[in-house]
């Protein structure tokens, strides 16, 4: 096959990823009669645009759970704010909060009570930046190697950093929620969340409706570990009733404006 121009070749690869196909660099290099380095440059460019997820030897299609953080921030903003506004009402003065990486938890930064001597720890770059703009909040940034999909740090250094925390209330990010608990798309993220559960007194999860339909390969925490699950005003009862029957406290947020 005669090699098309780089941008045209990249578009062909992107179309396959959109169709749900995984791609292998070596096979693409042979198909387009170019070097594997050229294909890797294509995949790096597509990954930087949030159009694929790089893996060893190629790339995988992006699913909602594996979209990079920056691509998720503006999605369903009003619905996320409705959940965040309701959840913020449970926060007490002087609490040590942990805001786990996630675009819904990012929305929570706008509704944190003012002048309540709150301390906010986070492993998320975007959440840390938002908290930093609030002069009444004390910020603790958990560092480490940044994962672009998570939008923050979930490596061994991050796990070690939170080992000595004593968190009053953790807002745990969720890729999926079901009768087994909270799921995570990435193994490292699940391990970080499990470590976080070990140092927190109360766990709150904000879940958009689609989280109940999603599936994630890694278990972050059991359903019994969730002290409060905040759902949308129109969350289907067939999805929430089994969780409530299992003993989970569920609060419905107001309709998004």
The CATH number of the domain holding residue 189 is 3.40.50.1360
Identify whether residues 40 and 131 lie together within a single domain.
no
Q: Are residues 43 and 161 in the same domain?
A: no
Does 82 share its domain with 29? Answer: no
Q: What is the pLDDT of residue 61?
A: 76
209 & 111 share domain: yes
Q: By mean pLDDT, which of 50-64, 65-79, 203-217 is the weakest?
A: 65-79
Residues 92 and 121 in one domain: yes
Q: What whole-number distance in Å separates Cα of residue 148 and Cα of residue 78?
A: 24
CA atoms within 13 A on the CB side of 230: 25
Among 63-67, 206-210, 235-239, which is the least confidently predicted range? Answer: 63-67
Which residues have C-beta within 8 Å of that of residue 238, sequence separation ≥ 6? none
Based on the fold, state whether residues 32 and 130 are members of the same structural domain.
no
Based on the domain organization, do 133 and 76 belong to the same domain? Answer: yes
CATH (domain of 33): 1.10.10.10
Do 24 and 78 sit in the same domain of this protein? no
Share of the chain above pLDDT 70, in %: 93
Specify whether 84 is located in the same domain as 53: no
Its domain, for residue 147, covers 72-252
Question: Is 162 a residue whose pLDDT tops 80?
Answer: yes
- Cα–Cα distance, 95 to 163 (Å, whole number): 18
pLDDT in tens, 12-67: 888 888 777 888 999 999 999 999 999 999 998 888 777 777 878 888 776 655 55
Domain-terminating residue out of 21, 42, 62: 62
Describe the crossing of helices 36-48 and 6-18 by its angle, rounded to 10 degrees: 60
Tokens of residue 82, six digits: 């409705």
Residue 197: inside a domain: yes
Tokens 């759970």 identify what position? Answer: 65
Helix runs in the chain, H state only:
6-18, 25-32, 36-48, 69-72, 77-88, 103-108, 125-132, 156-161, 187-197, 237-245
Q: What is the pLDDT of residues 98-114, one digit of tens each?
A: 999 988 999 999 999 99
- 11 and 128 in a single domain? The answer is no
Q: What would the 3-class secondary structure string for 135-178 be?
A: CCCEEEECCCCEECCCCEECCHHHHHHCCCCCEEEEECCCCEEE
User: What total number of domains does the chain contain?
Assistant: 2
């Amino acid at each position: 096959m005669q090699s098309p121009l780089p941008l045209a070749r990249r578009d062909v690869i992107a179309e396959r990823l959109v169709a749900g196909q995984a791609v292998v660099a070596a096979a693409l290099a042979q198909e387009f009669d170019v070097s594997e380095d050229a294909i890797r440059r294509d995949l790096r460019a597509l990954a930087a645009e949030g159009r694929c997820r790089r893996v060893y030897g190629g790339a995988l299609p992006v699913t909602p759970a594996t979209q990079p953080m920056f691509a998720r921030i503006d999605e369903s903003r009003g619905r996320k704010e409705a959940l965040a506004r309701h959840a913020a009402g449970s926060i007490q003065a002087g609490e040590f909060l942990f805001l786990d990486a996630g675009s819904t938890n990012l929305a929570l930064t706008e509704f944190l009570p003012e002048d309540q001597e709150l301390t906010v720890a986070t492993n998320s770059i975007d959440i840390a930046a938002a908290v930093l703009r609030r002069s009444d909040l004390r910020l603790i940034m958990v560092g480490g190697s940044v994962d672009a999909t998570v939008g923050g740090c979930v490596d061994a250094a991050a796990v070690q950093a939170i080992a000595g925390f004593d968190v009053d209330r953790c807002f745990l990010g969720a890729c999926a929620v079901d009768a087994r608990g909270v799921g995570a798309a990435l193994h490292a993220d699940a391990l970080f969340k499990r470590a976080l559960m070990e140092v927190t007194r109360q766990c709150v999860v904000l879940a958009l409706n689609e989280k109940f339909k999603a599936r994630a390969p890694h278990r972050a925490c059991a359903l019994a570990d969730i002290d409060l699950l905040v759902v949308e005003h129109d969350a289907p009862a067939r999805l929430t009733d089994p969780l409530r029957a299992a003993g989970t406290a569920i609060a419905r947020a107001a309709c998004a404006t």
